[in-house]
Amino acid sequence: MNPVDLKYNKEHEYAKVEGNIITFGITDHAQKSLGDVVFVELPDVGATVTAGKSYGTVESVKAVSDISASVSGKVVEVNTSVMDTPDLLNSDPYGEGWLIKVEAEDFAPLESMMSVEEYETLLAQEEH
């Protein structure tokens, strides 16, 4: 279920690395915990984001969640579809529900992120 080619963090966000372009999104576990996503706020193309800092919000009917950047860099693409159709985050978090693409300034923060095995271990621990 959780793709093997992604990096994960404890906030249940993922980063997909393709050259120097990093795609951010939230994990399947995150969308399940949130419930029906009804609003997504994302930065504009050209904005800069900072590793570890919030770059937007994802809101379900009941909750508001900050989403934080895995790396610092410039936003090169924004998934406007999820702004119009927020439930894409529920139906396809790893596909059509991606959030933004960032041109990374520095890859170092990715090294502290988890592999899929480590992330699934974390999920198993959180259940207990």
Partner 1 sequence: MNELKRTPLYEEHLAHKAKLIDFGGWEMPVQYVGVIDEHHAVRTKAGLFDVSHMGEIEVRGQDALEFIQMLITNDVSKLEDGRILYSPMCYPSGGIVDDLLVYRYNSQHFLIVVNASNTDKDYAWILKQADSFNVNLENVSDQYAQLALQGPLAETVLQRITELNLSQIKYYSFTHGNIDGISCLVSRTGYTGEDGFEIYVTPEHSRQLWRKILEVGALEGVQPIGLGARDTLRFEARLPLYGNELGAEISPLEAGLGIFVKLDKVNFIGKEVILAQKEQGVPRKLVGLEMIDRGIARSHYPLQKDGQEIGFVTSGSFSPTLNKNIALGLIKADLAIQGQILDVMIRGKAVKARIVPSLFYKRENQTKPKESGVVSDKVLSSIA
Q: Which residues bind partner 1 (CB under 8 A)?
A: 35-36, 38-39, 41, 57, 59-62, 64, 83
User: Nearest approach, Cβ of 5 to partner 1 (angstroms)?
Assistant: 29
Residue placing its CB nearer to partner 1 in the complex, 38 or 47: 38
- Answer yes or no: are the C-beta atoms of 29 and 101 closer than 8 Å: no
State the CB neighbour count (10 A cutoff) for residue 108.
11
Residue placing its CB nearer to partner 1 in the complex, 6 or 34: 34
Structure tokens at 44: 């504009």
User: Nearest approach, Cβ of 58 to partner 1 (angstroms)?
Assistant: 11
As a whole number of angstroms, the distance between CA 100 and CA 77 comes to: 6
Q: Which residue has the tokens 């396809």?
A: 92
User: Nearest approach, Cβ of 61 to partner 1 (angstroms)?
Assistant: 4
